[in-house]
Structure 1
Amino acid sequence: MSNLKTSVTAPSVISDFKEITKMRLALSVVFSSLAGYLLGVDTVDFKTLTLLAFGGYFMVGASNAFNQIIEKDLDALMDRTKNRPIPAGRMSVTTAFIIASIFTLLGIIILYTINKQTAMFGAISIFLYTCVYTPLKTKTPLSVFVGAIPGAIPFMLGWVAATDDFGIEPGTLFALQFFWQFPHFWAIGWFLFEDYKKGGFFMLPTGKQDKGTAVQTIMYTIWTLLVSIIPVFGFTGSLKLSIVAAILVFILGLGMLYYAIRLFKDMTEKAAKQLMLASVSYITLVQIVYVIDKFIR
């Protein structure tokens, strides 16, 4: 019987660990930072690449665990989050805090072994996410602006890890992922509007599912599109983009813009969900195009 018990509890411990660190989200962030690294290096150092992957994962995992500790009472109110390990009672706050603290230390130490600047940006992202973005979520829609900063750091972090330098190149990568987060976040805020309301979160810029929110979503999608093709014009230092790659990136951007306009026209949760999926595809594909373009140019 005891054998059966362990086989039942083991998967739930693993799934709770994945849940508290938001493994899928963390892996997408790691993907961004690795893309940034590949764009910044002359020759790929697999040791650094591995350190960056683990360091990045620990940083995001720590931010998510701290976030879930702070929001445990609000998470219990929302259908989307009430089954998370802490509000569901499967994990104590102490355990989560230990995980978050260990992850923070490991993340900063690992990133520090790459270089000091990488560790500094990693630490800034944890601080902003946990201490500024999380508390602001129930206070003001401006929380999305704050949350977009740590959310935009990974792409840039990879470049800094590769070069130990912060300049126009990582700045451009940061701007691209910064602007992208608004249509992405607002799409999520739109189709989860009622659920977010239960927890007291107001993520949409006007606080409502209205034309004002839809217009701002279109505006930020256009900004994202424009920033993503800037490297083709040659004034972003060593971050370059060929004409072919720029056209590809522009077409991907038009795809996302199509869904943003659809949201404006339809004003439905289905349209918002489609925009969210389009935004995820967009950022992943743009990063892949950037990296492939660099290595075949």
Structure 2
Amino acid sequence: MSKQATLPVTYTVISDFKEITKMRLSLSVVFSSMAGYLLGAETVDFTILFLLALGGYFMVGASNAFNQIIEKDLDALMDRTKNRPVAAGRMSVNVAFAIACLFTVLGLGILYVINPQTAMFGAISIFLYTCVYTPLKTKTPLSVFVGAIPGAIPFMLGWVAATNNFGIEPGSLFAIQFFWQFPHFWAIGWFLFDDYKKGGFFMLPTGKQDRGTATQIIAYSVWTLLVSIVPAFGFTGRLQLSIVAAIIVFLLGLGMLYYAIQLYKKMSVQAAKQLMIASVFYISLLQIVYVVDKFIR
């Protein structure tokens, strides 16, 4: 009887941990940083790779926990976020703040063990996400531009972890993920427009689900596609891409661009969802292609 009684509590603790850290998002960030590490490492050190994954998860978890503390009242207004632990009242602000601080210390401490530059970029990411991006979300669509900076750091963070150096290579990885975030997050902002409106969030560049927003989504999809194949032309140092891999990445980019154009044509929530899904597949497959290409060249 007592065992059955503890099951709901255990489930709540686990589900709340997943919610406060946004586990799926955090794991995607870990995946990006590990891909960046594999691209930058001349010899793969699995200890460093593990520390990067762990530190990266804590880093993103800290940012998300701080975000949910700041936005708890707004989260409670939106269907998408009203069940988050702080917004729903299952977790106190003090507990969430303690978790956020602990994750910050653990995340940056672990990244510092790898090398100081990795920890520095981790700290910049947490600061921009928490102190700049989060407050701007209710004030201006430019918040997406600011949020794209910490969002683009993980891919390059892996390279910095592998080399203890920031140069053209990690800068190129940063650019790829930076431009990609605009069609990705504007697609989310489009199909969640009404829900975001309840919380007072301004996510779309024109503030509306209109042709102007759809046009900008297409433009940034094109930029993403072009930046993603630059390493094939020999301008990006040790970050290189074979012709075959570049063609694959280009075709993947055309796939995302197709859904961006479909959104422009249909102007529908369904088209925005399809673009969002396509963008996730695009960035994940791009990273896999980059890594596989390095090791088979």
Would you call these one fold, judging by a TM-score over 0.5? yes
Residues in 1 aligned to 2:291 and 2:64: alpha-carbon distance in whole angstroms: 28
TM-score (norm 2): 0.99
Amino acid aligned to 2:289? V
Residues in 2 aligned to 1:107 and 1:145: alpha-carbon distance in whole angstroms: 24
Q: 3-state SS of the aligned residue for 1:284?
A: helix
Residues in 1 aligned to 2:8 and 2:131: alpha-carbon distance in whole angstroms: 36
Residues in 1 aligned to 2:126 and 2:244: alpha-carbon distance in whole angstroms: 37
Correspondence for 2:20 = 20
Correspondence for 1:57 = 57
Correspondence for 2:285 = 285
How far off its partner does 1:184 sit? 0.2
Amino acid aligned to 2:17? F
Residues in 2 aligned to 1:254 and 1:83: alpha-carbon distance in whole angstroms: 37
1:207-218 correspondence to structure 2 within 5 Å = 207-218=207-218
Q: 3-state SS of the aligned residue for 2:165?
A: coil
Correspondence for 1:141 = 141
Deviations 1:229-250 (A, max 9, x none): 0000001000000000000000
Amino acid aligned to 2:124? I
Residues in 2 aligned to 1:245 and 1:3: alpha-carbon distance in whole angstroms: 53
Residues in 2 aligned to 1:156 and 1:70: alpha-carbon distance in whole angstroms: 28
Correspondence for 1:32 = 32
Deviations 1:243-282 (A, max 9, x none): 0000000000000000000000000000000000000000
Deviations 1:106-163 (A, max 9, x none): 0000000000000000000000000000000000000000000000000000000000
Amino acid aligned to 1:205? P
How far off its partner does 1:8 sit? 1.6
Amino acid aligned to 1:2? S
How far off its partner does 1:5 sit? 1.9
Correspondence for 1:92 = 92
How far off its partner does 1:2 sit? 3.3
Q: 3-state SS of the aligned residue for 1:44?
A: coil
Runs of 4+ in 1 over 3 A off after TM superposition: none
Deviations 1:162-186 (A, max 9, x none): 0001000000000000000000000
How far off its partner does 1:202 sit? 1.0
1:1-297 correspondence to structure 2 within 5 Å = 1-297=1-297
Residues in 2 aligned to 1:7 and 1:167: alpha-carbon distance in whole angstroms: 50
Amino acid aligned to 1:277? I
Residues in 2 aligned to 1:53 and 1:115: alpha-carbon distance in whole angstroms: 14
How far off its partner does 1:7 sit? 1.4
Residues in 2 aligned to 1:12 and 1:200: alpha-carbon distance in whole angstroms: 29
Amino acid aligned to 2:114? I
Residues in 1 aligned to 2:68 and 2:200: alpha-carbon distance in whole angstroms: 15
Amino acid aligned to 1:275? L
Amino acid aligned to 1:191? F
RMSD over aligned Cα atoms: 0.5
Q: Give unmatched runs, 5+ long, in structure 2.
A: none
Residues in 1 aligned to 2:80 and 2:26: alpha-carbon distance in whole angstroms: 18
Number of equivalent positions: 297
Residues in 2 aligned to 1:149 and 1:235: alpha-carbon distance in whole angstroms: 22
Residues in 1 aligned to 2:48 and 2:4: alpha-carbon distance in whole angstroms: 42
How far off its partner does 1:12 sit? 1.0
Q: 3-state SS of the aligned residue for 1:165?
A: coil
Residues in 1 aligned to 2:102 and 2:186: alpha-carbon distance in whole angstroms: 32
Deviations 1:192-232 (A, max 9, x none): 00000000001000000000000000000000000000000
